[in-house]
Amino acid sequence: MTASGEFETGDANRHSGTATGTTDSTDDVLLKVDGLSKHFPVESGLFSGLNVSWDGRVPSVGYGREYLKAVDDVSFEIRRGETLGLVGESGCGKSTLARTILRLLEPSSGSIEFEGRDITTLGGEDLRQQRRNMQMVFQDPQSSLNPRQKIGQIVEEPLKTHGLLDDEGRETRARELLERVGLDSDHYNRYPHEFSGGQRQRVNLARALALDPDLIICDEPVASLDVSIQAQVLNTMTELQEEFGLTYLFIAHDLSVIRQISDRVAVMYLGKIVELGNKEAVYENPKHPYTKALLDSIPVPDPRKRSERETLGGDLPSPVNPPSGCRFRTRCPELIAPDAYDFSDAEWAALRELIRTIDRQLVEPSPPEALRRQFLNDVDLPAAADESVERALELFADGEPDRAAELLSESFVAPSVCARDVPSYEVDSTNGTEARFVACHRYAEETPTE
Amino acid sequence: MATPPETAEMGDQPVSSSAGEADESIRDLTGWRYTLAQIKRDRTARLGWYIISVVSVVAIVTYVDSQLLNYYIADTFWYHPERDAEGTALLPPVGLENSYGAGTWSHPLGTDQRGRDLLVRIVYGTRIAIQVGVVATGLGVIVGTIIGAVSGYYGGWIDDILQRTVETVYAIPFLILVIAIMSAFGRHLWIAIVGVGIVTVPIFARLIRSEVLKVREEEYIEAAKAIGVKDRHILARHIIPNSFAPVLVQGTLQIGVNILIVAGLSFLGFGVQPPTPSWGQILADSRGYMLPNPWFSIFPGIAILVTVMGFNLLGDGLRDALDPRNNG
Amino acid sequence: MTQDPLLSVQNVTTQFVTEEGIVRAVDDLSFDVHRGETLGLVGESGAGKSVAIRSIMRLISSPGEIVSGTITYKGHVILDRSQGPDGEVRDGEAMLSEAEMRSKIRGREIALIFQDPMESLNPVFTIGSQLREFIEINRDLSNAEAKAEAIELLREVGIPEAESRYHEYPHQFSGGMRQRVLIAMALACKPDLIIADEPTTALDVTVEGQILDLIEQLKTEYETSFIWVTHDMGVVAEICDRVNVMYLGELIEQAPVDELFHETKHPYTEALLRSIPKPHETTGEFDPIRGIMPDGMNAPSGCRFHPRCPDAREVCMSVHPDLREIDDGQNAACLKYDVFDADYDDSPPLVVDENGERVPAETVESVGGDD
């Protein structure tokens, strides 16, 4: 298997492993995505690459484009007939990933293989033919149907585009498809605005099915529907999968929906897959701290389980300048202590709390002793560490919170393995025979021999 | 394409969030039927519609008579609008009197400086006005829509080149440009039409481009691409029909404006050449006689005013009917 | 529950006059909010939740109109309106004027938090200046005092680097941070009641968690009451004390939160709870409510839920149930309970097709029950 780090430029990646999980035979792999990245230039235009920095006395001018790393080095496989759930919060790049796989966006690097055929650079008529095999269901039932076309025209368009069937045959097929997705064949002559959100999503499904594709990528297909309607549409999707032998890449932010519909689950954070594995394994025994945090933060629809929810703090970092190493490290509750200091767990926890507080300036500038009392009362830091802390606290007290945060970050966060290396590990699943992928240095020891 | 042109071009969909009832209320009408229903309810738009209908019928009849029948109808039942008159020059309208005599019912609006019947000249001037207004605007709409849609859809260097070209045309004062074109190619009616068409292209190109920039972000465009629909079909089936509403409004208003431009050109002597009657030219003729005979200028003025107003009223009505904000 | 309620809503009806007819978006709505409690207002889209809370704030504008009802808040009569037989609406004398609503109630006594914080913030002014101005106007503070107060509030709602972010614009804030700003604005006048209209719906689950934590913390600190409008039963379970469930403009169940989830009375609530995908167990399939939410214009006769109801009987088509007490503190509008005395038990089961049309019992074989 190809190492996922191979396509990463310049990153010293000691570990390798695909996020695919090991499969017994590669025959049933329908889609293979390897090291796929999609970077957008932050601004386009003649002078957009020009950077003026006002830090010094003389403004320094530099030229160099910034890129938004929407999808960065993502690898996975989808097997024929399965549903791979892709879950992540807004801004994690899951929609960009879907569009890049479908070649609606041009990949920046990496490869996409469909049934063993590399479609990364396919163009023109070849790409147009390839599109027959992969379809998409979109999120917004309002905007995904042309308001000026009748339902019949919408469902027939794929057939027409690929020159399949004659007029009559297309109409028969369209009516049949409408019935298959739970609509009435009489809806053929209606316009989209006459339908509810759930029904429009069914029209979307009918259009996607028209060419009898192998793979359907569903981008948040039920996110904008009421919960009772969601369930109707999801049931139909499951039925269609069995009937047509479909393979789904099902993208959602709703972990509950993903759990019910997927066979395997991939969790994305800030452009990268952080965990991928068998659904039950991921939900019952989440390994990555982000997966754990996601699962813990869902409000449970049962007032007797109120206390079970836990909250993940912090904000999503900018995908233009993502954190080095593990992208989740800025919010991670399980950040690994740097080797240099030999902290105890309690010391490290107290110190992290202090770093977080100063970094986010959650308190007003106050004398070092007060902050020490508040955060480091019970712990006795090693001398080398204590010196840095003292200097940072003084800076903070002097009203230079940014420099204080910088100093703390340099001393304690940067040396951590989480900031130095991009994590990428395959671990043995405790639940089933399949290996699973976890992008967290906590699982470095569990990596099977490479 | 699968979409009938009327459906494609006219009318905004009433977007209602509620589902699938089949009652025959206005909300459930689609495309141009919805737009028509809206306009019928709008009194001023209806007035505009009536004015345009009357003017158009007059224009068609006079066109047939002048182009195909060599003024047979006019000659038989009335006066020949081009020929020098047998009557008195500058005869006033009915009920007025001047040094040449009193108005008679045989020349209800009086006669011009050559004794030609003014009513006939104005009526036969309609054809030029409508012909030039509609054809020139149509030319502007078609060329402008194609340029704007291509420019907005593809973006990049195609957009840059097309937009700079369009802006260059836009930057030249329109009257000067048309006069320049006519000076270069001759003072024919068709040159006037093409000239006016060219100066209106930028208006529509820019208008539709801004709409296309919005529409191309819609998910159904992405859906069409995912299906493998070719770019020209995406433009024709999805992009243009959904960005056309403002062009329709602007086009209707622009017909009025173009009628004015052509009247202005004729007034300056750059339009249709005499003896073919046109409103601008009648106005130009009346210049020398205006003071004792204001009616000579007023009647062609009224013709221009009413016609342009008709297009403006209908255009405003269309704007209201097509505005998605009014369909909530 | 013995003390006077903070807010009392009685028989409020709001309708919208459209070209096609009259829609009763809120029909005969009655409920109380007590001091310090969080009242959930739950329903799917089209249930009338948003119209209900806008009616409380008297923010209904044409073509909508509140046609009848009484709303009292801490002795103020927010609404006292009745409809005569001629259809004319009459206001009671004690009812606050529009100017009084503006100066006394909105923002100061009852604050609103909307779903989309971007629409509630002016994009061309900084976050700080908007918050400061709001405080300045409503609390008669000087410019400098208001600024200090604004920064304090931003810090309180958990905005990092409050002092520097005071000078930033709304678009520089993430969705969660903007919602925090709105919460800060709502808290600025220390209102006794905050009405939150789906405030976490647009947010990611981890951000939603942060906001829910913040609300929980503020509730204990300020003792504010909340009306929390949502469609998310998870959020309801998390923060509400009592819950009102709405369906097509009507309240169909009122219950303390534990009873609502564990001793559900109304079939709609039951079906709604069943239809939620479970995050913590794999069920493998979904249990939807059949049919679609009917148009408010063509509300079904009798019980409005009957075409979609698994428990519907013939009687449900003709008899309209009002909200009655079924159990201690728990009200529901369903004829299957004895208090309605509607011969439900003797009525034959109602069978409907997918369009909600009644199917005579003998022709029935199988009914496809979705959309």
Q: Which chains would you list as touching B if contact means 3+ CB atom pairs under 8 Å? A: A, C
Judged against a pLDDT cut of 60, whether residue B3 lies above it is answered with no
| Chain A to chain C Cβ contacts (< 8 Å) | 164
Residue ranges of A 127-186 with Cβ closer than 8 A to chain C: 182-183
Q: Which of B18, B28, B219 sits opposite A138 (nearest CB)?
A: B219
- Dist. CA A349–CA C42, nearest whole Å: 40
Question: How many alpha carbons fall within 13 Å on the CB side of residue C283?
Answer: 15
Evaluated on CA atoms B239, A94, A317, C216, the torsion sign reads: positive
Q: Which of C235, C262, C287 sits opposite A231 (nearest CB)?
A: C287
Which tokens in the block code for residue A287?
């390994």
Q: Which residue has 């890449």 as its token pair?
A: A249
Tell me the sheet residues that pair with C8: C32, C72
Mean pLDDT of A269-287: 89
Tell me the sheet residues that pair with C29: C12
Confidence (pLDDT) at A1: 38
Answer for the pair A216, A132: CB distance below 8 angstroms, yes or no: no
- Dist. CA B321–CA C98, nearest whole Å: 33
Judged against a pLDDT cut of 90, whether residue C227 lies above it is answered with yes
Residues sharing a CB contact under 8 Å with residue C356, sequence separation 6 or more, in sequence order: C291, C294, C300, C307, C308
Judge: C292–B27 Cβ closer than 8 Å, yes or no: no
Q: How many helices (H) and strands (E) does chain C have?
A: 11, 13
Which tokens in the block code for residue C329?
């503190």
Judge: A148–B19 Cβ closer than 8 Å, yes or no: no
Mean pLDDT of B20-48: 65
Residue ranges of A 126-155 with Cβ closer than 8 A to chain B: 127-129, 131-132, 134-136, 138-140, 142-149, 153
Residue-wise pLDDT tens digits, A55-96 = 555 666 666 677 888 898 999 999 999 999 999 888 888 889
Judge: C288–A228 Cβ closer than 8 Å, yes or no: yes
Sheet holding C89-91, edge to edge: C21-33, C7-18, C64-73, C76-83, C89-91
Confidence (pLDDT) at A441: 85
Judged against a pLDDT cut of 90, whether residue A267 lies above it is answered with yes
Confidence (pLDDT) at B147: 94
Contact status of B25 with chain A (Cβ, < 8 Å): no
Confidence (pLDDT) at B201: 93
- Dist. CA B215–CA B241, nearest whole Å: 10
- Kindly report which listed range (A279-288, B11-20, C90-99, C296-305) carries the lowest average pLDDT score: B11-20
Confidence (pLDDT) at A2: 39
Nearest-Cα residue of chain A relative to residue B16: A193
Residue-wise pLDDT tens digits, A404-434 = 888 888 888 888 888 888 888 877 655 555 6
Distances (CA, A) of B167 to B162, B204, C45: 9, 12, 47
C-alpha triplet B198, B200, B206: angle, nearest 5°: 115
Evaluated on CA atoms A181, A185, A190, A195, the torsion sign reads: negative
Report whether the peptide linkage leading into residue B277 is cis, meaning its omega lies within 30 degrees of zero.
no
Mutate to test the interface with C, among A232, A268, A283, A285 (most CBs of C within 10 A): A232
* Local confidence band at A450 (pLDDT 50, 70, 90 cut-offs): very low
Question: How many alpha carbons fall within 13 Å on the CB side of residue A72?
Answer: 25
Confidence (pLDDT) at B152: 92
Domains for chain C: give ranges and CATH numbers.
1-109+192-290 (3.40.50.300), 118-190 (no CATH), 300-371 (no CATH)
Answer for the pair C334, C267: CB distance below 8 angstroms, yes or no: yes
- Residue B215 distance to chain A (closest CA, Å): 10
Judged against a pLDDT cut of 60, whether residue C299 lies above it is answered with yes
Judged against a pLDDT cut of 70, whether residue B303 lies above it is answered with yes
Please name the amino acid found at residue A195. Answer: F
Domain of B81: which CATH number? Answer: 1.10.3720.10
Q: Where are the alpha helices (DSSP H) in C223-342?
A: 233-239, 257-262, 267-275
Question: Which sequence spans correspond to the domains of chain A?
Answer: 29-41+63-262, 345-415
The conformation of residue C30, written as its DSSP 8-state character, comes to E
Residue ranges of C 2-61 with Cβ closer than 8 A to chain B: 19-20, 45-46
* Local confidence band at B63 (pLDDT 50, 70, 90 cut-offs): confident
Cβ contacts of A293 on chain C, cutoff 8 Å: 206
The residue among C323, C268, C264, C324 whose CA lies nearest residue C294 is: C268
Q: b/e for A44-74, b at 16 or more Cβ within 10 A?
A: eeeeeeeeeeeeeeeeeeeeeebbbbbbbbb
The conformation of residue B229, written as its DSSP 8-state character, comes to -
**Strongest mean pLDDT among A148-157, C91-100, C103-112:** A148-157
Mean pLDDT score of chain C, rounded to an integer?
84
Residue-wise pLDDT tens digits, A377-397 = 777 777 778 888 888 888 888
- Dist. CA C180–CA C157, nearest whole Å: 6
Mean pLDDT of B189-205: 90
Answer for the pair C204, A89: CB distance below 8 angstroms, yes or no: yes
Does residue B255 belong to any structural domain of this protein?
yes
Which tokens in the block code for residue C132?
């400061």
- Kindly report which listed range (A17-31, B176-190, C128-142) carries the lowest average pLDDT score: A17-31
Confidence (pLDDT) at A3: 39
Superfamily of domain A29-41+63-262 in CATH is P-loop containing nucleotide triphosphate hydrolases (3.40.50.300)
Does residue B21 belong to any structural domain of this protein?
no
- Dist. CA C16–CA C21, nearest whole Å: 8
Judged against a pLDDT cut of 80, whether residue B19 lies above it is answered with no
Which tokens in the block code for residue A441?
């240095």
- Dist. CA C323–CA C236, nearest whole Å: 21
Judge: B18–C20 Cβ closer than 8 Å, yes or no: no
**Strongest mean pLDDT among B56-65, B142-151, C294-303:** B142-151
Answer for the pair B280, B263: CB distance below 8 angstroms, yes or no: yes
- Dist. CA B10–CA A296, nearest whole Å: 52
- Kindly report which listed range (A97-111, A331-345, B247-261) carries the lowest average pLDDT score: A331-345
More confident site: B107 or A135? A135
The residue among A358, A350, A352, A359 whose CA lies nearest residue A377 is: A350
- Dist. CA C111–CA C105, nearest whole Å: 8
Which domain covers residue B284, as residue numbers? 44-326
The conformation of residue C5, written as its DSSP 8-state character, comes to P
Structurally, chain B folds into a number of domains equal to 1
Residue-wise pLDDT tens digits, C119-174 = 788 888 999 999 898 888 888 888 888 898 898 888 888 887 888 888 988 888 88
